[in-house]
Structure 1
């Protein structure tokens, strides 16, 4: 079978390897779609501390079961399934308290286990143990199901930030994650959703798809002033920084209304992980600042339900489909910002 295996930064090789065979407590999956994201670009360029090369990359995975281990119950050959990416241990204190997104023993598909840039993959016992293999609802395509993983992360972030009915929500960053945030905020009852970005072309392209109530281009002036003007000086109830930008995080503090919530959704580069936080703004405005780290198996299930119900449509966000042999082109396309979602179809 064909795989794309990461060896070192800049060294992702297309290789022909034998098909894997599952252990009795594992499942073999035929990959139908594995979508790409900015994390794949980061791994390709810089590697990752938790990724053990050589490793088959890809973590936004949907496919059909090709073989079921003898000790695995409840699944059959031909079942259409989606696979979680972040794999909690299920046993630690955080997992037992329902806080699986912060499991200190978390492993990940595409990092410690071979991922979805392959014709087949093994769903490890660790995934099955935490109920991390999910049936794809009828009417949902493999490509759409592969987007459930990033949507699950977005869902976790909005739950932590308490996005709800009547909120004015600002999403900073018009990439694929920002687009999902816009659609989910609307599905959760936001009164108004404002999408902001520094790149006018990307903002225009994304806004044409997800149709936020307002857009703000940072290249045209001070984004904080623009948000305050749109909210009659009050500020936004929720600001989500869906971009790896310290400046965006600092701006978020200044544009949030009293008792508002700020989601630092996009992580910062390790070379520049700190910002200047005006703690008096947090203190006097009684602001809440939350992080967001991936998703739990339960978030993945709910993400599939949101897609299936039409509450959060994702099909039109998949702007590019490529075969596995074009995986390097896919990563370049994501890096250039020329797509919303690029999906690989092995």
Structure 2
């Protein structure tokens, strides 16, 4: 079968590999869609500490069950059979550590990941390991949800996790930094699930900002390359600031701006991780103190967030179909990375 394999930074190859065999406690999927994200681009250029080359990349996966291990249904209380449609979690908690037992699976200290420790979805077939099945991480795709939409449930789940921590209230003014697919999802979740009030979208790439704004229709579009973002948000809010700010981009300055523009009792999500070579920001501690600000990290998602994402997509509460603006065959998967890097599409899905 064909698979996109990571060997070293900037050495990623589409090659023929043996079709994987399904063990007794595993499920085999025929991959129908594997979406791409900025993390895939980072891995392409920089590698990752949890990837041992050669390894198949791809972690936003949906497919059709083609084989079910003999022990799966009895061991995990599942009822999987060939022909079932399934979406796969990416972040795999252990289910046994302190954090998992507290219900904090998104920050499991023993977390592993599909597309990292386990071969991923930029391939014709994938094996779902027992670790995924153990934590109920293989999810049925509702009948009215396409494979491409289901593959977007994984990043969607990460956004759900972040917004739960923020406690967005009806009518809150929300600022989202980053006009990529995850920024678009944040806007739709804030509105569709939490009934936010005005929502502002910020980016420095004018083309990407327009493309995403056309799709999700924020109340205000702010080009950070042209205006002082903090000053603009303060102007738009009558000097009060934003109730909720989500930095869905790997830029240090956005986190600093988020603190400066937050209203009293404002909630901030540092959703996008910063480069490991430059992970520090300047923080006016007095703003945090006197405005009583709440600053949250957001790390991936738990299996339950993936299920909720599929539910929101299925009910139409948070649509994602129109955010998938490119479908690319596996043979051209490397092009998908370039499209994502250049911001020429909202969401790119690879179709084996």
Give the TM bin, normalised by the shorter chain.
over 0.9
| Matched residue, 2:117 | 112
| Matched residue, 2:9 | 9
CA distance in 1, matches of 2:206, 2:119: 37
| Matched residue, 2:57 | 57
| Matched residue, 1:35 | 35
- Mapped pair 1:159 → 2:164: yes
Q: Which runs of 4+ in 1 moved over 2 A?
A: none
- Mapped pair 1:320 → 2:322: no
CA distance in 2, matches of 1:195, 1:163: 17
1:184-333 matches, within 5 Å, as 184-187=189-192, 188-333=194-339
CA distance in 2, matches of 1:162, 1:44: 35
Contact 1:196 1:203 in 2 (8 A): yes
Give the alignment's Cα RMSD to 1 decimal: 0.6
Listed as ranges, the gaps of 5+ residues in structure 2 are 74-78
CA distance in 1, matches of 2:334, 2:209: 25
Contact 1:40 1:58 in 2 (8 A): yes
Name the SS of the counterpart of 1:3 in structure 2.
strand
| Matched residue, 1:144 | 149
- Mapped pair 1:177 → 2:194: no
CA distance in 2, matches of 1:211, 1:164: 20
CA distance in 1, matches of 2:7, 2:206: 36
| Matched residue, 2:108 | 103
CA distance in 1, matches of 2:333, 2:130: 27
Deviations 1:59-90 (A, max 9, x none): 00000100000001110100000000000000
CA distance in 2, matches of 1:7, 1:65: 28
CA distance in 2, matches of 1:44, 1:220: 31
CA distance in 2, matches of 1:59, 1:78: 21
Output the TM-score relative to the length of structure 1.
Answer: 0.99
Q: CA deviation at 1:145?
A: 0.2
Q: CA deviation at 1:322?
A: 0.6
Aligned residues, how many? 346
Deviations 1:184-226 (A, max 9, x none): 1111110111111112221111100011111111122100010
Q: CA deviation at 1:164?
A: 2.6
